[in-house]
Structures are given as C-alpha cells and as structure tokens.
Amino acid sequence: MRRILLQVALLAVLAAPLGALATTVGPGSARAQVDDVDAGRELFLTGCVSCHGPDGVGTDQGPTLIGVGAAAADFMLRTGRMPLAVPGQQPPRKEPAYNDADITYLVAYVASLGPGPDIPDVDPQRGDMAVGGELYRENCAACHQAAGSGGALSYGRHAPSLHQATATEIGEAPRIGPGQMPVFGPEVLSDSDLDSIALYVLQLDDPADPGGLSLGRIGPVAEGFVGILIGLGTLIVVARWVTRSRHQRLAEATEVDR
Amino acid sequence: MRRYGEAVPIAAFCVAIVGGLGAAVVYALGGQAQAEGVLLAMALGGIGVGLASWAKTLLPEEVVIEERPALGSGEAELTDIEDTFVERDPIHRRRFLGTLLAGALGSLLVALVFPIRSLGPNPDQGLRQTAWQGARLRLVRNDGTPVPADELNVNGVLTVWPEGHVGEEDSQTLLLHLQPGVLQPRPGREDWTVGDQVAFSKVCTHAGCPVGLFEERMNRLLCPCHQSTFDVADACRPVFGPATRSLPQLPLDTDGDGFLIATGDYSGPVGPGYWNQDR
Amino acid sequence: MITRRLVRWLDERVGTAGLGRAALSKVFPNHWSFLLGEIALYSFIVLILTGVYLTFFFDPSTATITYDGSYEPLVGVEMSQAYRSVLELTFDVRAGLVMRQTHHWAAVVFAAAIVAHMARVFFTGAFRRPRELNWIIGITLLLMAILNGFAGYSLLDDQLSGTGLRILYSVVLAVPLVGTWIASLLFGGNFPGTQILERLFVIHILIVPVVIGLLLVLHMGLLLRHRHTHFPGGGATDRNVVGERLWPTYALKAGGFFFLTSGALVLMGGIFQINPIWIYGPFRPGNVSAASQPDWYMGWLEGSLRLMPPWEVRAFGFMLPNPFFSGVLLPGVTFGLLYAWPFMEAWLTGDHAEHHVLDRPRDRPVRTALGVAALTFFTILMVAGADDVLAVTFDLEFNRMVWVFRTLLLVAPPVAAFVTYRLCIELVQRERDSQASLPAAAETVT
C-alpha cells in the first residue's frame, strides 16, 4: 500500500509537467492523470475485481462498470456503499473503506473504462431554496419523504435517509440513478436545479423545528404514539392520583398488614 | 393554624402564579413556543394540583350514599298520559287529514332538499374525461415547457400535463423512458410509444394518490399510500397491493416540431373505480 | 356576603335555590376510570377555546398567492391563502404556534380519551339499561370526533392532508349508487374542486361542534338523570349511589382535573411539534410524500385500505370497487355493531333489567373476551396502516408485512379472546379460593 503511494508520489512529481498536458481518456475524466488511473487499477484489482470483473466488465456478482462514470464511482465509494460485503442486498451507507486519495484513483480508473457522468459541480450557495424545495417535493419526496427521512420500496429495499448526504452526493445520485432510483439527466434536472435541490436538502438536515421536539418529522405515526402513550397515558396517571383517597390508602395499608 | 396538608396546595398555587406571570413576560419579550407552553402548563397545572390536593387532603373524607329514585314514572302516570293523548289526539280522529298533512310535509321536505343539488355538478362527465381528450395536446412539465422527444434520458421519469392544463388532477401523467425491449405493448397499443418512451396516468386506480415511486431496475411503479405496485413492462398491470386495474396508458406521438404529444385520451377511466364506471 | 346576595338575587328571579341545593348535593362515585370521559370533555373545551383563537387568524380560502413571509424555504412558492395563513400563524404570530399545536394535540387526546372511555363503559357493562341511549350518543360523539379531526387538519391545504382528502374522495366514490354524487356535491365537482376548504371550514367550526355540543348536553343530562354507575362494594347497590358530593369535594377534584388536563395539553402544545406543514409543503395534485398517514384515529381505516386484497366486484356493468370493502363496508359494519351492541347483548343474555352497579370485567368473561378481540383487531389494522414507516424504521419488507398482518388479523383476535377468557376465569377462581380460606369474609372497600 505504502509502496504504491510512494511510487505514485514519485511519478507525480516527475511527470507533473507532462501530466498537465496529458490528453484525457474519455470525457468524464478531464482531470485524471494517467498515473491516477494506474493507481486506481491497482486498487481495483485488489478490492473490486472479484465482483465487477477484470476491466469492470461485470460478473454475476456485480454489474458492469463500463460507462457508469466518475460520478457513480465517487458516490458509491464516498458513501461507503462500495465495497459491498454481501452482493445482492441493498448496499447500506457506512464509513468509506478508502481514504480520499484512494477514492480519487479508483474514480479515475472507473471513469477511464468508458464515457459516463462526471462528478457534478454542486454548489448549494448558487441555488434557490424555494426552487429546490419545489423540485424536491415534485421529484424526490415520493421516495425519500418530505423531510428526507427515507421511504420504503418493494421487497425490503428503501430510499435512504438524506440527512447524511453531502452536496456532491445529492448531485451525484440523480445523475447515476443508484439501485432502484431513476436517472435524472441534465435535461430533466439541470445543473443549477441540482444546486437548488442540494441547498434545500441540506437545510432538511437541521430544520427550524419551531414547534419543539421534532418526533422524527415523519408525521402522524409518531404523533399518534406520543399523543396516546404520553398524552393520554400521563392523564390516566394523573386521574389515578386525583381519585386516590385516604380511605383507599388505608384500605391498601390494611391489606398489606394482612 | 396552617396544617401540613396545606403545603401542597400552597406550593402548587405559587407555581401557578410564577407560571402565569412568566408566560406573560415571555410573550411581552417576543414569545417563544416552548417557553410559552411550559409556563402556561405550570399556570394551569399548578391550579389543577392545588385544587385536587385541596380536595384530597383538606376536605373531610366522606362517603355519601344517595338514593336512586325509580326512573320510570309509574303505571298511573303513564296511563293518564296515554289516555289524555289518545283522547285529545286530532289526527287519531281524522285519519284522512292526518295523511294529507304527512304528504304535505313530506313534499315540502323533498323540495327543501333540492337546493343541495346546487352544491356540485353531475359527476359522470368529469369522471370519464380528462383534459387530454380530443385535441392533440403537447406534454408539458410543471413549469409549462413542452417536452422534446429526445429530452428524457433512459431510466428516467417525468411528471407531465396537457398543455394549458398544468395541475389538473385527473390529467397528471408519468412519462417513462424504459430500456429497449422492456415494454410489451397491449394489443392495439403498439404505436403508443415514442422510441422507448411510454406514458401512463399517475392517478392510482386504488384510491387516487399519485403513483410517484418508479422502481427503475424492476420497472415497477409503487404507490406510497397503500403500496399498490404496477408492472410497467406489462402496461402497468397491478402486481401487489389493493389496486385491481392497470394504470391507463396515454397514446404518444410527436408533433411537427419534435415535441411529445398525446393523440387522444387515456386507454381507460382514470383513477379509482365507482359504481357505474363500466357503463 | 357576595355569594349569599347573589344566590338570593337569582332565586327571586329564577327560583334556582331548590335546584341548586339538589345539584350541589349530587353524589359522584370516586374511581379513576370515571375520569376518562372527563378527559374527553375537557379536551373538547380546550379545542373550543384554542379553536376560536385560531379562527381569528385562519383564512379558509383556496385563492392562490406567492408566499413572501418569514419562512425562507417557501419564499416565492405559490400556495393557497389558507396555507399561507397557517404559516403566518406559525412563524409571525406570537403564541400562534403554541395555540395551533395545543389545538391539534387536544384533538389527538380527545379521540383517545373517547375510545378509552368507550372501552371502560363497555368492559364494565355501563351501557346496559337504562343507559343504551347514552351509549348511542357516545358512539355518535366518537364519530363526530373522528370526522371533525379529519376535517380540521385537512383545512391547512398542505401536501399530507391533501393526499388524505384525495383518498377520502375515492372512498366516497366507492359508495354504491350514490357515491359519485355525494363526492361531487361535497367537493363541488371532481377532486380537488374549488370549494372543499371553504366547506370543510363550515363543517369544522360550526356544524360538527354544534352537534357535539348538543350531544354532550344530552349525554351529561342523561348522566344526571340516571346518576353515575358505581363498582360493587362499599355498600353499592342498584338503588343507591355511593361516593362524594358535588360540592365541595367533587367540584374541586373535577375542576382541578380540568386544569390538569388543559395544562397537559398546553405542555404538549409547547414542547412536541405536531403537523409541521412547512416541511410537507403546499398541496399539489401531482405530488405525494412517502410515509403518508392520517391522524391516529383514522389509522385503522388506513390499515384496512392497505391490507385489503385486490378484490373488486364487477357485474351487470356495475362495480363495487376495492375501497368499498375496506373504506365503506368495514367502518359501516364497525359502527353498526357498536350502535347495536347494548341491544345485542341484552338479547343474547336475556338480561333486560336495570343496572347501576358495574361489572368487573373479570366477572363477564365472554363480553371481556369479545372486547379484547375487537381491540386487537383494530390495533392490528392501525399498526398495519404504518407498515411503510415500520419497514424503514426497522429495516423490514412491507410486502411480507402485509401478508403477516393479514394473517394476524384473522388469527390474533380469536387467540386474544381465548386467552382473555381463560384469564378472567382464572382470576375469579383465585379470588374465590383465597376468600374461601379466610376465617370471615372481609368487607371489600372500593
């Protein structure tokens, strides 16, 4: 691991002037250097080839990576969904298995396999909160829920919660359509739409909640629980206190003595 | 002389005073929902605890027995009323007049009920037709812009409306771009697609919610309300959940400028069923 | 003193002194379960008080405007005046949000208390003669509470309640023969129509509250006439009432309980957020959110709609669509049985006598078992109504859950009934055994 890093570092230092003039491999990897791709290939051969096949052609354990683009690789690796321990289940979000540098190399390599969506340049500050909210409620809330808490899909899959997503991830997912998610290309959601959606979704991570404890913002299910168990429950306890008499307490005392 | 029993009511009323004044202060300073709630609750709860504990600890304990008088009025009274009523009952003596009176009151009731009819239109037409009918209308997005035939990417989904009718609930449509070879068109609908783009009503045939979840890999549409699931490849036939009828399909074509249009209304009635939907 | 002079002044003009004396001496039995109805009554009072306040701010209008208030994520969004007025109440009116949340929590607790009270009356047999009329009034009150709650939260024109209105429209459509007409007359045309908010407003603030008010007067009036029931023991018989006098003891306890109830509701209104409509967004016909459920007291209907297998009856050109079975037939049968229960039980047991002494649930094992079975049935339906939320929270598969709930719905009530029955028999048997072993029967004190 360290040897590879060392080699890469040396190569980078020596080849930097050349690298700056290097031609790209495919439209999705404009900034990838030939050495990034090589480093990525090395990592790929150790961590990914068993499911995704040599040169990413795919196996019966994992889909082909040819044409998925830098966005897909970046999304999967940064959210820790890849590498996946048990193929076939919906990959859960977890801590990334690779550090930033390794992710960059792997992304470069996957991008080099074939043309695909580039990592989008998402800047929430360029976005419009109201537009983002409208687009979110039109296109995203049906699966991800109005407050971004996630929703159920068929056969145990689910549209995940968006509360941990970064702006870039919020831009990447619609472009690649991971899992059951449809693909939202640039003609459907423009790059500036993604900026607005990201601004809105990031706000959902920590909304105002002026009403107090948010109860998860999933609506009447949680509210019903609280209303019945805490509301009615407390009042029943209070009712028992109000109606308990000395007479009753004496009788209980007598019973205990028996 | 204060007895020990007064301690709780005294404390409770003091809490109530603090709560009430505190709530007023919070309000005057600009208000804050949580503080208002807690302080008002102290005011109300303090009075409540004070009164209840006053009753429990300061009032003499008593067990009082009250008699329940008989509920009925007794045979004599009942016979008296019955006799009087029957004796003086006008209708009993003039049956014909009584019947006519009943008829008059009944017909008045019928007449008074009729203004209820003004509350809404005859439902049939509205339920059977949507804004797509007749004209060759362009598909437009929520912002009113028409959809070119090459705009929607593969594995993509878009909610569209008839041009000029954005937001009309029964006309909401899902435009889907499927993978090649996925769709198996129903007989007679072979030319209802443009490339691999297909359109279906978004109104769930179970209870009318928008079928907003496109499970792209499985080519299924899932309705979030009651989990009705439709198989897009088989023209949205229901495959799970309470829905019984396929989502009606919208016939697509392109107009001279390359925008997507509908060549007519849906393949069937939109949305949930009703008594005479089949007629 | 002032009180004396006031009493004399009134009596000279209205003649109330005699009535007053009788009223103030009325005896009320003391048991915590008799306060469940009071929780409902006091919640209703809180609903009226907070509700009146809300009507001064709410604008029941479907006319659209572009929002320009203080909640940033919605600035520039088109919405109805109704929705905007609620945003303004929430973010720009002092004490507005606490009033609105208290109102909504009061509605939630109102319905819960009615159900709890109904269960108490059922399990203790307090619906028997002479109280059949009061039971019927009570069931109607339950129906009114459910309807008004639904109407109330649908007024806000947010996405979640709008989805609920769409489902209501579809269920009304499913009524045979007249469904399409009722739906069109109620909404003023096809869904969503342009009238529904304005009409729901009148229903919610005038028609149903007046009906509830009148029914409550009847309900309490009958209670005064019949006098309250009481548990056996402590000298209680069918010819007396054992308890505390209205003045001063019961009045202080009941009055205190009113303040405690309203205090609890206001506390919830301040610290628990409910119905955050600014997150749901304004209603749009083509939009929907995952995790769309109605308020808890309609949860059983939601579960019914979800669990119903895809059955539809089509014959001779007519249709009984699927929501008919789950949304019309089930609640129809439910309320039909509820209304008929006192008469059914009287007919089945042959007991037409007057009862003022309550049953202990264990002494009536069949009735108690049936009641538990019914509660089990409706609880399963209610939980099933949240199946997608449970699926996400506990990482389950809703397809499988639907089958599990369908099975439970058929299997669990009979099992619960059997277990309850045996439990009742067992408890009574143990009591008999332990009493038989005592030297002399001790007086049971309530």
Last residue of a domain, one of B25, B41, B58: B58
B49 shares a domain with B179: no
Say whether A168 sits in a helix, a strand or coil: helix
- Could you give all domains of chain A from N- to C-terminal order, each with its CATH number? 1-119 (1.10.760.10), 120-217 (1.10.760.10), 219-257 (no CATH)
The runs of H, that is alpha helices, within chain A are: 2-21, 34-47, 49-52, 69-78, 100-112, 129-139, 141-144, 167-176, 191-204, 220-225, 233-243, 246-257
User: Secondary structure of A139-166 in the HEC alphabet?
Assistant: HCHHHHCCCCCCEECHHHCEECCCCCCC
Domain assignment present for B20 = yes
Cα angle, residue B46 at apex, residues B43 and B47 outer, rounded to 5°? 90
pLDDT per residue, tens digit, chain C (446 aa), is 788 888 888 888 988 777 778 888 888 898 999 999 999 999 999 999 999 999 999 999 999 999 999 999 999 999 999 999 999 999 999 999 999 999 999 999 999 999 999 999 999 999 999 999 999 999 999 999 999 999 999 999 999 999 999 999 999 999 999 999 999 999 999 999 889 999 999 999 999 999 999 999 999 999 989 999 999 988 888 888 888 888 888 999 999 999 999 999 999 999 999 999 999 999 999 999 999 999 999 999 999 999 999 999 999 999 999 999 999 999 999 999 999 999 999 999 999 999 999 999 999 999 999 999 999 999 999 999 999 999 999 999 999 999 999 999 999 999 999 999 999 999 999 999 998 877 655 555 44
Residue C388: list chain A partners with CB under 8 A.
151-152
- pLDDT value of residue B61: 81
- How many domains, chain B? 2
Mean pLDDT, rounded, of chain B? 92
Instruction: Render pLDDT for A210-246 as a digit per residue (tens, 0 to 9).
Output: 999 999 888 999 999 999 999 999 999 999 999 987 6
Q: Give the model's pLDDT for residue A5.
A: 67
Would you say residue B70 lies in a domain?
no
Predicted local distance difference test score (pLDDT) of residue B17: 97
With respect to residue B50, please indicate whether it lies within any of the assigned structural domains. yes
Q: Which chains touch B (3 or more CB pairs under 8 A)?
A: A, C
- B62 and chain A: CB distance < 8 Å anywhere? no
Residue-wise pLDDT tens digits, B98-151: 899 999 999 999 999 889 999 999 998 888 889 999 889 999 999 999 999 999
Query: Which C residues 374-403 touch A at CB under 8 Å?
Result: 386-389, 391-392, 395-400
Beta bridge partners of B64: C243
Residue C436 host element (H or E): helix C398-436
C-alpha distance from residue A50 to each of A105, A152, C296, C328 (Å): 18, 30, 49, 56
Residues B237, B147, single domain; the answer is yes
Helix, strand, coil % in chain B, rounded to nearest 5: 40, 20, 45
CA distance C131 to C341: 12
Q: Which of B61, B217, B220 sits opposite A245 (nearest CB)?
A: B61
Indicate yes or no: CB of A129 within 8 angstroms of CB of C72: yes
Pair B30, B147 in one domain: no
Residues 148-177 of B with CB under 8 A from A: 151-159
What pLDDT was estimated at residue A216? 86
The domain that holds B171 is classified in CATH as 2.102.10.10
Q: What is the pLDDT of residue A24?
A: 46
B147 within some domain: yes
Same domain, B169 and B33: no
Any chain B CB within 8 A of the CB of A99? no
Are C256 and A203 an interchain contact pair (Cβ–Cβ within 8 Å)? Answer: no
Q: Which residues of A touch C289 (CB under 8 A)?
A: 137, 141-142, 145-146, 151
Sheet holding C240-245, edge to edge: B64-67, C240-245, C27-28
Residue C277 contacts residue C83 (beta carbons within 8 Å): yes
Cα(B140)–Cα(B166) distance, integer angstroms? 8
Q: Judged by CB atoms within 8 Å, which residues 96-115 of B form the interface with C?
A: none
pLDDT number for residue A19:
52
**From the candidates A134, A140, A143, which should be mutated to test the interface with B, based on the most B CB atoms within 10 A?**
A143
Q: Are residues B140 and B276 in the same domain?
A: yes
C276 and A CB contact within 8 Å: yes
Q: Using a CB-CB distance cutoff of 8 angstroms, which residues of chain B are in contact with residue C307?
A: 242
Across the interface, whether the CB atoms of B155 and A182 are under 8 A apart is answered: yes
**What is the mean predicted confidence (pLDDT) over A193-222?**
93
Q: Do A138 and B34 touch (CB under 8 A)?
A: no
C90 in contact with chain A, both atoms CB, cutoff 8 A: yes
Angle made by CA atoms B157, B163, B168, in degrees to the nearest 5: 80
In chain B, the largest separation of any two C-alpha atoms, in whole Å, equals 99
Compare CB distances from B207 to C167, C176, C225 and report the shortest one's residue.
C167
Number of other CB atoms surrounding residue B195 within 10 Å = 14
User: Long-range contact list for A249-252, CB < 8 A, 24+ apart?
Assistant: A251/C445
Nearest CA of chain A to the CA of B158: how many Å?
8
Q: How far is B86 from chain C (nearest CA, A)?
A: 26
The one-letter code for the residue type at A194 is: L
Is A156 part of the contact surface with chain B (CB cutoff 8 Å)? no
The reply to whether A251 touches chain C by the CB within 8 Å rule is yes
CATH of C30-284, one of 3.60.20.10, 3.40.109.10, 1.20.810.10, 1.10.1740.10: 1.20.810.10
**B182 CB near a chain A CB, below 8 Å?**
no
CB contact under 8 A, B152 and A188: yes
Closest-CA residue to C114 (of C151, C147, C139, C148): C139
Domain ranges of chain C: 30-284
**DSSP letter assigned to residue A132:** H
Question: Nearest to residue A168, comparing CAs of A71, A67, A27, A101?
Answer: A71
- Confidence band (pLDDT; 50, 70, 90) for A26? very low
ipTM: 0.92
Higher pLDDT, A23 or A191: A191
Q: What is the pLDDT of residue A27?
A: 47
Q: Is residue A75 less than 8 Å (CB to CB) from chain C?
A: no
- Mapping DSSP to helix (H, G, I), strand (E, B) and coil, where does residue B175 land? strand
pLDDT, residue B5, reads 75
Please check whether residues B241 and B145 belong to one and the same domain.
yes
In a domain, B95, yes or no: no
Rg (CA), chain A: 27
| A231 at interface of B, judged by CB pairs closer than 8 A | no
Are A107 and C255 contacting, i.e. CB atoms less than 8 angstroms apart?
no
pLDDT of residue C6: 87
Against chain C, the chains showing at least 3 CB pairs within 8 Å are A, B
Residue B48 belongs to some domain of the structure:
yes
Contact yes or no for A226 and C272 at CB 8 A: yes
Q: What is the structure's pLDDT at A47?
A: 85
For residues C67 and C379, give the distance between their C-alpha atoms in angstroms, rounded to a whole number: 41
The shortest CB-CB distance from B224 to any of C252, C268, C290 is to C290
H or E stretch including B198?
strand B197-201
Cβ neighbours of B31 in C, within 8 Å: 94-95
* Range of weakest confidence among A78-92, A125-139, A239-253: A239-253
Expressed as residue numbers, the domain containing B220 is 129-279
Cross-sheet strand order for the sheet of B249-250: B139-140, B156-162, B173-177, B197-201, B249-250
Residue C166 · residue C323 · CB < 8 Å: no
- Asked if B63 reaches chain C (Cβ–Cβ under 8 Å), the answer is yes
Distance from CA of A79 to the nearest CA of B (A): 21
Contacts of A144 (CB under 8 A, 6+ apart): A150, A151, A159, A160, A161, A162, C290
Instruction: DSSP for B56-123, please give it.
Output: IIISPP--EEEE---SS--HHHHHHHHHHHHHH-HHHH-HHHHHHHHHHHHHHHHHHHGGGGGGS--H
Structure confidence at residue C446 (pLDDT):
47
B90 Cα distance to chain centroid: 50
C220 touches chain A (CB under 8 A): no
Residues B241, B238: Cα–Cα separation, whole Å? 8
Query: In this predicted structure, what is the pLDDT of residue A2?
Result: 65
The predicted-structure confidence for A144-189, as pLDDT tens digits, reads as follows 999 999 999 999 999 999 999 999 999 999 999 999 999 999 999 9
When scoring B159, B216, B229 by the number of chain A Cβ atoms within 10 A, the one with the most, hence best to mutate, is B216
Per-residue pLDDT of chain B (279 residues), as tens digits, is 456 678 999 999 999 999 999 999 999 999 899 999 999 999 999 999 999 999 988 888 888 888 888 888 888 888 888 888 877 777 777 888 889 999 999 999 999 988 999 999 999 888 888 999 988 999 999 999 999 999 999 999 999 999 999 999 999 999 999 999 999 999 999 999 999 999 999 999 999 999 999 999 999 999 999 999 999 999 999 999 999 999 999 999 999 999 999 999 999 999 999 999 988
Task: Provide the whole-model pTM.
Answer: 0.92
